[in-house]
Amino acid sequence: MLASYWMRTVTFPGRFESLAQISNLIVKQAKKAGLDEAAIYAVDLAVDEAVTNIIEHAYGGEGIGNIQCTCQVKEDGLIITLRDFGQPFNPEKIPAPNLRARLKDLKSGGAGLFLIRKMMDEVHFEFNPKTGNLLTMVKHKKPL
């Protein structure tokens, strides 16, 4: 990937009311990156799910910690990083949901991570007790 030509970092309170502000930031940066409407929707949905997971699972509830959101507009797309200081987890131990199960038989858990991975082109996790949990998601522009 080429160097960033635009980067923006904003810290939000780990509260569900922050979701609208985070969405506004993400959509604005995705447009700057030249993503099409479908890609913008996918990025917004993935980030919404990731932030919800941070609040619910990493922090265990609202108002416990902050979420730092960094958007890097690149020539070929958008990189979004979310940093929190909540409880780390092993993404490899989260089973994929059974997509063949009837809706009423689905167990909770795992669908959000599955969705994030399907919506984004790249998803990377890093966990460090000093620097926090870092989720990096990449969405590439479709070639013209």
- CATH of residue 133's domain is 3.30.565.10
Asked if residue 60 is part of any domain, the answer here is: yes
Q: Please give the Cα distance from 132 to 82 (Å, whole number).
A: 10
Q: Which domain range does residue 134 map to?
A: 6-140
Chain mean position to CA 35: 16
pTM of the model: 0.88
Question: What pLDDT is recorded for position 24?
Answer: 97
Task: Give the three-class secondary structure for 114.
Answer: helix
**Residue 100 main-chain phi, psi, to 5 deg:** -95, -10
Cβ proximity of 80 and 137 under 8 Å:
yes
Question: What pLDDT is recorded for position 103?
Answer: 57
- The stretches in the chain having pLDDT less than 50 are 1-2
Question: What pLDDT is recorded for position 98?
Answer: 64
Asked if residue 96 is part of any domain, the answer here is: yes
Question: What pLDDT is recorded for position 122?
Answer: 97
Q: Take residue 37 and report the two structure tokens written for it.
A: 């409407």
Listed residue (47, 6, 49) closest to 26, CA to CA: 47
Asked if residue 1 is part of any domain, the answer here is: no
Given strand 122-128, what is the order of strands in its sheet? 6-13, 66-74, 77-84, 132-140, 122-128
Asked if residue 13 is part of any domain, the answer here is: yes
How many domains would you assign to the chain?
Answer: 1
DSSP for residue 66: E
Q: Take residue 5 and report the two structure tokens written for it.
A: 């030509």
Q: Report the percent of the chain where pLDDT is more than 90.
A: 73
Asked if residue 119 is part of any domain, the answer here is: yes
pLDDT digits (tens, 9 = 90+) for 82-93: 999 999 988 888
Asked if residue 32 is part of any domain, the answer here is: yes
Asked if residue 91 is part of any domain, the answer here is: yes
